[in-house]
Amino acid sequence: MSKKYFGTDGIRGRVGEYPITPDFMLKLGWAAGMAFRKQGTCRVLIGKDTRISGYMFESALEAGLSAAGADVMLLGPMPTPAIAYLTRTFHAEAGIVISASHNPHDDNGIKFFSGQGTKLPDELELMIEELLDAPMTVVESAKLGKVSRINDAAGRYIEFCKSSVPTSTDFAGLKLVVDCAHGAAYKIAPSVFRELGAQVTVLSAQPNGLNINDDCGSTHMGALQAAVVAHEADLGIGFDGDADRVLMVDHTGALVDGDELLYIIARDLQEQGKLQGGVVGTLMSNLGLELALAELKIPFVRANVGDRYVISELLERNWQIGGENSGHIVCFQHTTTGDAIIAALQVLLALKRWGKSLAAARQGLRKCPQVLVNVRFAGGVDPVSHPAVTDACARVTERMGGRGRVLLRKSGTEPLVRVMVEGDDEAQVRSYADELARVVTEVCA
């Protein structure tokens, strides 16, 4: 069965436009509470990022869950991976994240975690959708859910992050600049790195409900690049609004993406004899990552774009490490989902062990020129499967003569078609990407 509301990363959209409305969230809370209750007793954690609409949706979900007889534990602003972790440690039936991740403040969304801190199985999402179309009921008064707040949630998660590195770890002498995107990591991330001994300069950690991801964080790295150079820091770390993505900046101000971070972590694990299996990337992973891992004799496979698919592939193969070039990195040896702080710590640990700068450590991976162009589209026509677009892709692929690749896909979180071209020659790759983007734009017009 196809899903009506759930996409690849929960339910997401523009605030005030169905289904991202208070009345829908009330019903969603009730439907989720009823579905989770069928699994037994019901305790649900709710966390959120810092966007202003989170208050409204938190209250609506809380009321719906209570009406279904589910007890609610409120976490306040917390990174998405923290909610996955706390859902496990509190032995809750589910965790709910109110966040639109790297999107601007006027978007929001809902993600669910199972009691094991993993994505919900399809059958449970379908059960929730079925209940959304049923009349809403209220349990008898004596069975209404109670609501409480977890006051030490941040401290618990900080300690969990620190436990992902050896207790002897000391980053004394390491100068970091950390960009928190005015998001969910604004208090937690600086605390983790400082408590491990690093000297930390913090950017974008004054959330006001409207400035999340606004020209900052992992989607806008310019300010972080400039700050690393200005402060003569060893490196910079950029998070997105809900802290499940991380990118870095080396001491020269150069951007270091998720493919390069994944390479560093995998290589370090291999050298320690701790790498289990290989590495899972995505269709968007740079060809250079695949070639660099092949030189190390580390297996590499590509999943569809989205952490759901990376995680699924890791589970199927019983591997531990995977991620996306956007900075969504999964370290299964430590946690159950993509976690930006834990991924950053694994990179810092590798650099410390090697005695290398980030600039030197990334040299083992030579990225192929890759150009990504986003084309916005409205509903109706599916531009990716339109004959004019598929014909244009075939022509470009033929002209590249086996020395590159073309990928067109619709974003799972925004109304965008992502046009990606990769090959040997950067000017040629850009020309082909622009050519395909024009065709997609014409089809969408």
Distance, CA of 208 to CA of 337 (rounded, Å): 27
Q: Which residues are annotated as a binding site?
A: 101, 240, 242, 244
* Main-chain dihedrals φ then ψ at residue 373, nearest 5 degrees: -120, 125
Q: State yes or no: is 326 an active-site residue.
A: no
Instruction: Sheet containing 107-114: give its strands across.
Output: 11-14, 107-114, 94-98, 43-48, 71-77, 147-149
Expressed in percent and rounded to 5, the helix, strand and coil fractions of the chain are 40, 20, 40
Q: What is the CA radius of gyration of the chain?
A: 22
User: What is the maximal distance between C-alpha atoms in the chain?
Assistant: 70
Q: Which of 53, 101, 204, 326 is catalytic?
A: 101
Distance, CA of 434 to CA of 445 (rounded, Å): 16
Q: Do the Cβ atoms of 231 and 337 come closer than 8 Å?
A: no
Smallest CA-to-CA distance from 101 within 287, 256, 324 is with: 324
DSSP of 148-215 = EE-TTHHHHHHHHHHTTS-TT---TT-EEEEE-TTSTTTTHHHHHHHHTT-EEEEES----SS-TTSS
- Cβ-Cβ contacts under 8 Å for 85 (sequence gap 6 or more): 117, 157, 160, 335, 336
Distance, CA of 323 to CA of 302 (rounded, Å): 10
424 three-state secondary structure: coil
Please name every residue paired with 282 in a beta bridge, in sequence order, or none if there are none. Answer: 303
Question: What is the dihedral angle through the alpha carbons of 290, 291, 296, 302, rounded to the nearest 10 degrees?
Answer: 10
Distance, CA of 257 to CA of 248 (rounded, Å): 7
Q: Do the Cβ atoms of 194 and 188 come closer than 8 Å?
A: no
Active site residues: 101
